[in-house]
Structure 1
Amino acid sequence: MASLSISNDEWKAICDKFTNAQNLTDVESRTDPENDPFRSKYKARELLREIYCSLKSFEAGEEESGGEGGDQRPAEPPVDGQRVDFFEQGLSGDSPAGLRAAKLGAVEYYLGVNHVDTEELSAGQEHLMNCMKLLDRCRVSSENVSLFIHARNQLGILWAGRDETETAQGFLETSESIYQRYMKEDGSPPTDMTDYFATEENLLTHQERTKRFELAYTHSMYYLAQVYKNLGETERAATYCHSTLQRQLKLNQFSPMEWALNAATLSQYYITKGRYMEGRHCLSAATVISGLAGEVPSEAAAQESETESERREQLRQKRAEIARCWIKYCLNLLQDSKKLLEDNIGELDTDRQEELKRARRREEEEEEKGRKSAMLFGSEDTFDSIASLEEKVRCLFLLDFTEARAVFLVGQDYVTQAKDYFEMDGYVTDHIEILQDHSALFRGLAFFEEDLERRCKMHKRRVDMLEPICSDLNSQYYLMIRRQLMFELAETYNEMMDLKLALANRQEDTPSLDNHTVKKFNHLCSASAKYFQMFLDSLCSPEGKVPEHLEEEVLRPALVARFRVARLYSRLICSAQSDQLENLNKSVEHYKYVVQYCEAHPEAASAVESELELSKEMAGLLPLKINRLKARMVVNN
C-alpha cells in the first residue's frame, strides 16, 4: 500500500500512529474522566494531524523529484475549521495519485469525525467537505468506494442533527446510489479505509472487507429511514427500517435489546396500517432477539455492581415495553375485526360474518405467499423460534368469539408482563395506560360474545379495574387521566345498562320489569350519569362556573357527555311522578345546552352532528311531555 518514495520504516511509523489513533478513539476514550471527556480523542486528533503532514511531505518530495508536478508549497497540517486546497490537478482512481488522494481523504474523514465527536461541528464539517473535494476528483473504484459512502453518511448525520433534513437526504441518497452502482458494475470486496494505513500482514481479509462495506451501506439505510420519517414519508421510512433490521441480523452487527425495540416500534407502524402479518413477525422477532440479551445469574445478584444492576433493570424495562407493543397488536386486531363485522348500530352483522368465513380459506392460502417471503427476519438459529412464537397468535381478522378470545388471552398475558414492571408505585401514568388497554381488550372481546349476561360481566370487569384508580387519583396532578377514566366508566355503565334492559326484554313471560330489574337498571343509569357529570364538573372553574368556551381537545367529549346525561335522565324509571318530572326537566336542560352552545359557537356543530340533531328534536318534544305529565299530576292531586 505504501508509495515507492516512502521507506518501510517511515510507512510503518505512519501505520502505527493510525493504529494508536484508532485505539484512542474506540477503546481508551471510554474510560476518559468526566472532567476531561475528550482527552483520548484530542490525542487521536494530534496523531491524525501528524499523519496528514507526513503524507503531504512525501507528496511534496515526489513533486520536487519530477513526479506528477503540482503545488510546491510546504506541507502544513489542516487548520481546524479552515478549508484546505489539495491536488489541483485531475486525478484518476486507478492512478497512484488517486490512491494518495484517497489516503489524504481518509485522514480528512477521520479528522472530521473526531471534531464532530468532540462537539466541534463546524470544524468537522470542513474536514468532511475536504474529504469530499478530494474524492470528487476521483472516479469511484474498489480502492475508494467505502470512503465515498462513509463520508456522505457522516455529512448526512451532521445535517440531520441540525434539522436540515433535505440536505441530509441528498448526502444519504448519494451513498445509496454509489453502493448500488458499485455492486452492479464491480461487486468485489472493496478496500476498507483502515487498509490505507495497514502493513501487508495486517490487511483485512476479503470476508472482513465485505462485512465492513455492507455495514456502511446498512448505516446509510438506517439514517435514510430516520430522514424519511422526519419528512413524513412513513411508508418509505418503514421499508428502509425493515431492510436495516434484516441486514443487521444477517451481518450479526446489532445490540439485541436495541434491535428488539426497533423491531417492536416498527410493528406499531404496520399495525396502524392493518398489516398484521408484518406486525406479528416484527414482534415475534423482537421477543426472540431480546432473549439474546443475557441476564445475570440469580446467585450472582448479591455481588453484582451498581452498573450491572442498572443494566438488568434496563433489560426488564425494555422487555416490558415490547410487551406493551404486543398488547397494542392484540387490541388493534380486536378493534379492526370489530369494525369489519359491525352493522350500523354497532352490533355483529351475521351475514357479513358468514361471507368472510367463506372467503377465509383463500385468505389463509395467501398468507403463506407473497409479501411474507420478503419480510422474514432471522438466521437458522432464530428463525424456528420466531416462527413458533408467530403460531401462538393470529394475524388474520377475527371472525368469531373463539378466535377473538385466543387473541384476547395473548394480550392479557402481556398485560400481566407489562404491569409486573410498570407498577402503580413509580409508574402511575404507564400503569394506568396498561389498565386502559386491558379494559379495551375486554370491550373488544365483548363484541363477539353472544351471551348478553356474559357480555355484561366483561364490562363489569372493566369497571372493577378502573373505578378504584379513578377514585384514588389526585386530580391536581392527573386531571387529564382522571377525565379519561371518568368518561370510560360512564360509557361502560351505559353499555351495561343497555344490556340489562335487552336481557329483561327477552323474557317473554314477564309483561313488565320486576322491581329487582328496575333497581339494577336505575343503578347503572345513575352511575353512568354520575361519571359523565364528574367529567363535566372537571371542566368547570374552581368556583364551579361552566366554561363559556370549550377547548378543542374537550369539545366533543363535553358535548357528548351533555347529550348522554340528558338521555340517561329521561330513561330513569320512577314510580313517583314528581321524580319523573324532575328528571325530565334535567334532561331537557342538558339537551338545550348542546343546542345553545352550537348556536353560539357554529364551528362546534360539525363535531357533534348526530347528537346535535337529536338534541334539537328532544329539546322540542320533551317540553310537551313535561306539560302532559304536569297536567296528570294536577288531576291526580
Structure 2
Amino acid sequence: MASTGSADWRALCDKFSTALNLSEVESRRDPDNDPFRSKYKAREFLREIYSSLKNFEAGEGDGGDGGERRPAERPGDGEREEEGSEGRPFGGDSAAGLRAAKRAAVEYYLGVNHVETEELSAGQEHLMNCTTILGTCSTTPENVSLFIHVRNQLGILWAGRDETETAQGFLEAAESTYLHYMKEEGTPPTDMAEYFSTEENLLTPQERTKRFEMAYTHTMYYLAQLYQNLGEVERAGTYCHRTLQRQLQLNQYNPLEWALNAATLSQCYITKGRYMEGKHCLSAATVIAGLAGEVPSEAAAQESETQSERRNQLRQKRAEISRCWIKYCLNLLQDAKKLMEDSIGELDVERQEELQRARRTEEEEEEKSRKAALLFGSEDTFDSIASLEEKVPYLLPLGFTEARAVFLVGQTNVTQAKEYFEMDGYVTDHIEILQDHSALFRALAFFEEDLERRCKMHKRRVDMLEPICNDLNAQYYLLIRRQLMFELAEIYNEMMDLKMTLANQQSDMEPLDNHTIKKLNHLCSASAKYFQMFLDSLCSPEGKIPERLEEEVLRPALVARFRVARLYSRLICPAVTAQLDNLNKSLDNYQYVVQYCEDHPEAAAAVETELELSQEMVNLLPIKINRLKAKMATNN
C-alpha cells in the first residue's frame, strides 16, 4: 500500500477528510428540497477511496505495506497473543489485517451514509460487509473501535425495524467486545478516522481513549432503550444511569437533554421506592440544567428568533424537571402515609412510634455507601449537586415536621412549574400541577394532629381547584372536569367529617349550635353537589342515565352514588318533612347501587364494601322512614 508520506496517500487522506466534512458539517446546510445533497457527494468520495484501497493492494500483492506506518503503532505491538473478543487474540495484527480493517472502515462509512439517506437495505449490506471483513481479522487495538461502532449501527438499524432480538445480539456483542478488550488490553485503541490520517494528524492517546469511551457510551445508551422496549425496566434504568455518568465524565453531553434524561430516570427510581437514587438524579438534573445558561430578560427585545426559541426551551425543560421534583415529594409523602395509616386511613400512632424507634443512623450510613456507585458529577459540578441534595430529605417522613420539609420542597417546585405551564396555553399541564399541589396538601394533612389546621389545609385544596372546575369548558375538558368534581366532592366530605369530630369534641354531648349545624350542612351539601355533578356528566345529552357504566367510570360512579346516599342521611334538619325527603333520596341512591350490581354481577367486585353497606341500608332505612311517617301522623 502507498507510503504515508506519498502523494497518493495524502490525496486519499484529503479525500476522506472531505467526505467526513460533507457528511457531518455541510449536510446540516443542505436545502429542504435536496436534503441529502452533501451525503450523496460524500458517498462518491467514499467509493473512490474504496477503489483506491483495492488498487493499492493489487499493486502490492503480498509484498508488504510499502513502508506505510501503522496508525497506532507502539513499542511491543505484535508481541501479545492474549485471547480477545470471540476467541481471537489481541495484538499481533499483520499489515494485511490492517489493510482489511481500512476496507472494512470504508464499508462502515458507506453503510452509515446509506442509512442516513434512508436507504436501509443498502446500508445494512455495507455494514454486514464490514463485519464480514472484520471476521477475518484478530480483534486488536487497531480495529476494536470499528468492531464496536459497526455493531452499534447494526443494533440501531434492527431496532428501528422492531427486530429487537436481532438488535440485542449486535449491541450486547459490542458491549462484550469492549469489556473483554478493557480487561485484556486496555491501551488507547486506534480511532477509525486515523486509518486515513497522515502521520502528523494522528490522535493523542487521550483523544483515542475519549473517542473509544464515547463509542461504548453509545452502546450503553442504545441498550438502555432496547431493554426499556423489552419491558426490562430496572435493567434499562441501570444502563441509562451508567450512560449519564459516562457522558458527564467524558464531558460529552447537551446540558438540557442530559438533565431531562436524569429527571426522567428519577421517576423510575421513585416508583421502586428508591428515593435516595431518585433525589440524586433530580439534584444532578437541576444543577446540569443550570449550566445551559439563559438569555437575560432585559435582552429579550433584541434577541433573535433562535435565541427566543432556545430561551423558551430552557424554561420548559426546567419546568419539566420541577414537575419531576413534585412527583418525588408527593410519592415520598404518600408512601409514608401508606406505611402508617390504620384501617380507616388515620395515623396509627403505635406503628409510627415503632418506625421511629427502628430508624437508626446505621440505615442512613448503609444508604450512603450504596450511593457511592451512583454518583453523578465532575469536579465542576459534584459539590453543587451534593449541596442541593443536602436540602432535600429522602427518608420516609415519620412525623409532621419531616413531612412538612418534604411538602415545602414540592410546593416550591409547584410555583416554578406553574411559571411556565400557565393556564393560558397549557390548560391540561397547569391543572395536573394544581392536582399534584392538592395531593401534596392532602398527604401533609395526614400528619397534622390539629384537626382545625388539617381542615384549613383541605380548604386550600378547594380554593385552588373549585374556580378551575367551574370555569372549564365541559365540552372540551370533560374528563378533567370529572376528575376535579370527584376530588372536590371528596374534599368537602373530608372537611365535613373533620368539622363533625371537632363539634362533638367541643360540645361534650351538648346539642350543636345553629352556626355549627349550618356549617356542617353546607359542607355536606357541597360534597353531594359535586358528586351529583359527576354523576350528571355521565348521562346522555337528554339526561338519561346509562344502562351500563363504562369500565373506567364504573367504580367512581357507584362510589359517588354511595357517598351521596350517605351524605343525604347526614344532613341535620329539624323539620320532619325535610328529614323524610333526605332519607328517601338516600334510600334511592343505596337502592341504585344494589340494583346495578344485581343487574351486572361483574360490578360487585369493584365495590365490595360499598355494596355490602348499601344492602344493609336498603333494609334499615325503610324502617326509619316508616317511623318518621308515623311520627308525622301522630303530630297531625
Q: Same fold (TM over 0.5)?
A: yes
Match of 2:73 in 1: none
Instruction: Trace 1:53-72 onto structure 2 (pairs within 5 A).
Output: 53-63=51-61
1:161, distance to aligned residue in structure 2 (A): 1.3
In the alignment, the residues of structure 1 paired with residue 507 and residue 570 of structure 2 have an alpha-carbon distance, to the nearest angstrom, of 21
1:370, distance to aligned residue in structure 2 (A): 2.8
In the alignment, the residues of structure 1 paired with residue 3 and residue 459 of structure 2 have an alpha-carbon distance, to the nearest angstrom, of 87
Match of 1:37 in 2: 35
Q: Quick check: 2:571–2:582 contact (8 Å CA) kept in 1?
A: yes
In the alignment, the residues of structure 2 paired with residue 40 and residue 246 of structure 1 have an alpha-carbon distance, to the nearest angstrom, of 35
Q: Quick check: 2:191–2:208 contact (8 Å CA) kept in 1?
A: yes
- Kindly provide the amino acid, as one letter, of the partner of residue 520 in structure 2: F
Match of 2:20 in 1: 22
**2:495 is the counterpart of 1:464:** no
In the alignment, the residues of structure 2 paired with residue 100 and residue 628 of structure 1 have an alpha-carbon distance, to the nearest angstrom, of 103
Q: Quick check: 2:244–2:258 contact (8 Å CA) kept in 1?
A: yes
- Kindly provide the amino acid, as one letter, of the partner of residue 374 in structure 1: A
- Kindly provide the amino acid, as one letter, of the partner of residue 418 in structure 2: K
Distance 1:490 1:198, change over 3 A: same
In the alignment, the residues of structure 2 paired with residue 170 and residue 548 of structure 1 have an alpha-carbon distance, to the nearest angstrom, of 53
In the alignment, the residues of structure 2 paired with residue 444 and residue 165 of structure 1 have an alpha-carbon distance, to the nearest angstrom, of 42
**Which segment is superposed worse, 620-629 or 332-341?**
620-629
Q: Quick check: 1:115–1:123 contact (8 Å CA) kept in 2?
A: yes
Q: Quick check: 2:227–2:235 contact (8 Å CA) kept in 1?
A: yes
Match of 2:171 in 1: 172
In the alignment, the residues of structure 2 paired with residue 327 and residue 266 of structure 1 have an alpha-carbon distance, to the nearest angstrom, of 14
Match of 2:273 in 1: 274
In the alignment, the residues of structure 2 paired with residue 503 and residue 563 of structure 1 have an alpha-carbon distance, to the nearest angstrom, of 24
Q: Quick check: 2:4–2:199 contact (8 Å CA) kept in 1?
A: no
**2:318 is the counterpart of 1:338:** no
Match of 2:311 in 1: 312
Match of 1:593 in 2: 592
**Which segment is superposed worse, 289-298 or 466-475?**
289-298
1:302, distance to aligned residue in structure 2 (A): 2.6
1:361, distance to aligned residue in structure 2 (A): 2.4
**2:626 is the counterpart of 1:615:** no
How many residues align? The count is 613
In the alignment, the residues of structure 1 paired with residue 427 and residue 213 of structure 2 have an alpha-carbon distance, to the nearest angstrom, of 44
1:138 alignment partner, SS class: coil
- Kindly provide the amino acid, as one letter, of the partner of residue 198 in structure 1: S
- Kindly provide the amino acid, as one letter, of the partner of residue 493 in structure 1: Y
In the alignment, the residues of structure 2 paired with residue 166 and residue 160 of structure 1 have an alpha-carbon distance, to the nearest angstrom, of 8
Q: Deviations over 1:259-300 (max 9, x none)?
A: 000000000111111111000000000000001102123454
In the alignment, the residues of structure 1 paired with residue 277 and residue 64 of structure 2 have an alpha-carbon distance, to the nearest angstrom, of 60
Match of 1:51 in 2: 49
Q: Quick check: 2:3–2:9 contact (8 Å CA) kept in 1?
A: no
In the alignment, the residues of structure 1 paired with residue 364 and residue 532 of structure 2 have an alpha-carbon distance, to the nearest angstrom, of 51
In the alignment, the residues of structure 2 paired with residue 588 and residue 366 of structure 1 have an alpha-carbon distance, to the nearest angstrom, of 58
In the alignment, the residues of structure 1 paired with residue 318 and residue 368 of structure 2 have an alpha-carbon distance, to the nearest angstrom, of 31
- Kindly provide the amino acid, as one letter, of the partner of residue 402 in structure 1: T
1:325, distance to aligned residue in structure 2 (A): 0.5
Q: Quick check: 1:5–1:58 contact (8 Å CA) kept in 2?
A: no
- TM-score, normalized by length of structure 2? 0.94
Q: Deviations over 1:206-226 (max 9, x none)?
A: 110001001100000001000
1:139, distance to aligned residue in structure 2 (A): 2.1
Match of 1:141 in 2: 140
2:214 alignment partner, SS class: helix
Q: Deviations over 1:574-623 (max 9, x none)?
A: 11111111111111111111112112222211111111111111111111
1:190 alignment partner, SS class: coil
**Which segment is superposed worse, 318-327 or 6-15?**
6-15
In the alignment, the residues of structure 2 paired with residue 461 and residue 487 of structure 1 have an alpha-carbon distance, to the nearest angstrom, of 16
**2:243 is the counterpart of 1:248:** no
1:508, distance to aligned residue in structure 2 (A): 4.7
Instruction: Trace 1:59-98 onto structure 2 (pairs within 5 A).
Output: 59-63=57-61, 94-98=93-97
Match of 2:484 in 1: 485
Distance 1:539 1:577, change over 3 A: same
- Kindly provide the amino acid, as one letter, of the partner of residue 309 in structure 1: S
Instruction: Trace 1:385-464 onto structure 2 (pairs within 5 A).
Output: 385-464=384-463
1:303, distance to aligned residue in structure 2 (A): 2.4
1:369 alignment partner, SS class: helix
In the alignment, the residues of structure 2 paired with residue 297 and residue 18 of structure 1 have an alpha-carbon distance, to the nearest angstrom, of 43
Q: Quick check: 1:108–1:130 contact (8 Å CA) kept in 2?
A: yes
- Kindly provide the amino acid, as one letter, of the partner of residue 35 in structure 1: N
1:301, distance to aligned residue in structure 2 (A): 2.8
Match of 1:85 in 2: none
**2:18 is the counterpart of 1:12:** no
1:94, distance to aligned residue in structure 2 (A): 1.0
In the alignment, the residues of structure 2 paired with residue 7 and residue 509 of structure 1 have an alpha-carbon distance, to the nearest angstrom, of 103
1:497, distance to aligned residue in structure 2 (A): 0.3
1:476, distance to aligned residue in structure 2 (A): 0.6
Q: Deviations over 1:217-266 (max 9, x none)?
A: 00000010000001000000000000000000000000000000000000
Q: Quick check: 1:93–1:144 contact (8 Å CA) kept in 2?
A: no
In the alignment, the residues of structure 2 paired with residue 140 and residue 110 of structure 1 have an alpha-carbon distance, to the nearest angstrom, of 19
In the alignment, the residues of structure 2 paired with residue 329 and residue 10 of structure 1 have an alpha-carbon distance, to the nearest angstrom, of 62
- Kindly provide the amino acid, as one letter, of the partner of residue 45 in structure 1: R
Q: Quick check: 2:4–2:10 contact (8 Å CA) kept in 1?
A: no
1:25, distance to aligned residue in structure 2 (A): 1.2
- Kindly provide the amino acid, as one letter, of the partner of residue 244 in structure 1: T
Q: Where does the alignment leave 5 or more consecutive residues of structure 1 unmatched?
A: 69-89
2:391 alignment partner, SS class: coil
Q: Quick check: 1:93–1:138 contact (8 Å CA) kept in 2?
A: no
2:632 alignment partner, SS class: helix
**2:144 is the counterpart of 1:151:** no
Match of 1:495 in 2: 494
Q: Deviations over 1:327-361 (max 9, x none)?
A: 11111111111111111111111111111111222
1:363, distance to aligned residue in structure 2 (A): 5.3
**2:505 is the counterpart of 1:506:** yes
In the alignment, the residues of structure 2 paired with residue 27 and residue 4 of structure 1 have an alpha-carbon distance, to the nearest angstrom, of 29
Q: Where does the alignment leave 5 or more consecutive residues of structure 2 unmatched?
A: 66-87
The percent identity for this pair of structures is 80
CA RMSD of aligned residues (A): 1.7
**Which segment is superposed worse, 608-617 or 474-483?**
608-617
In the alignment, the residues of structure 2 paired with residue 580 and residue 170 of structure 1 have an alpha-carbon distance, to the nearest angstrom, of 73
1:61, distance to aligned residue in structure 2 (A): 2.5
In the alignment, the residues of structure 1 paired with residue 426 and residue 224 of structure 2 have an alpha-carbon distance, to the nearest angstrom, of 31
1:501 alignment partner, SS class: helix
1:368, distance to aligned residue in structure 2 (A): 5.0
In the alignment, the residues of structure 2 paired with residue 563 and residue 304 of structure 1 have an alpha-carbon distance, to the nearest angstrom, of 59
In the alignment, the residues of structure 1 paired with residue 42 and residue 221 of structure 2 have an alpha-carbon distance, to the nearest angstrom, of 28
In the alignment, the residues of structure 1 paired with residue 373 and residue 504 of structure 2 have an alpha-carbon distance, to the nearest angstrom, of 54
Q: Quick check: 1:93–1:143 contact (8 Å CA) kept in 2?
A: no
1:366, distance to aligned residue in structure 2 (A): 2.9
Match of 1:627 in 2: 626
1:67, distance to aligned residue in structure 2 (A): 7.7
Match of 2:107 in 1: 108
- Kindly provide the amino acid, as one letter, of the partner of residue 47 in structure 1: F
Q: Deviations over 1:360-402 (max 9, x none)?
A: 2235533553311111100121111111111111000001111
Q: Quick check: 1:5–1:62 contact (8 Å CA) kept in 2?
A: no
Q: Quick check: 1:112–1:127 contact (8 Å CA) kept in 2?
A: yes
- Kindly provide the amino acid, as one letter, of the partner of residue 42 in structure 2: A
In the alignment, the residues of structure 1 paired with residue 246 and residue 411 of structure 2 have an alpha-carbon distance, to the nearest angstrom, of 33
**2:570 is the counterpart of 1:558:** no
- Kindly provide the amino acid, as one letter, of the partner of residue 51 in structure 2: C
Q: Quick check: 1:145–1:190 contact (8 Å CA) kept in 2?
A: yes
- TM-score, normalized by length of structure 1? 0.94
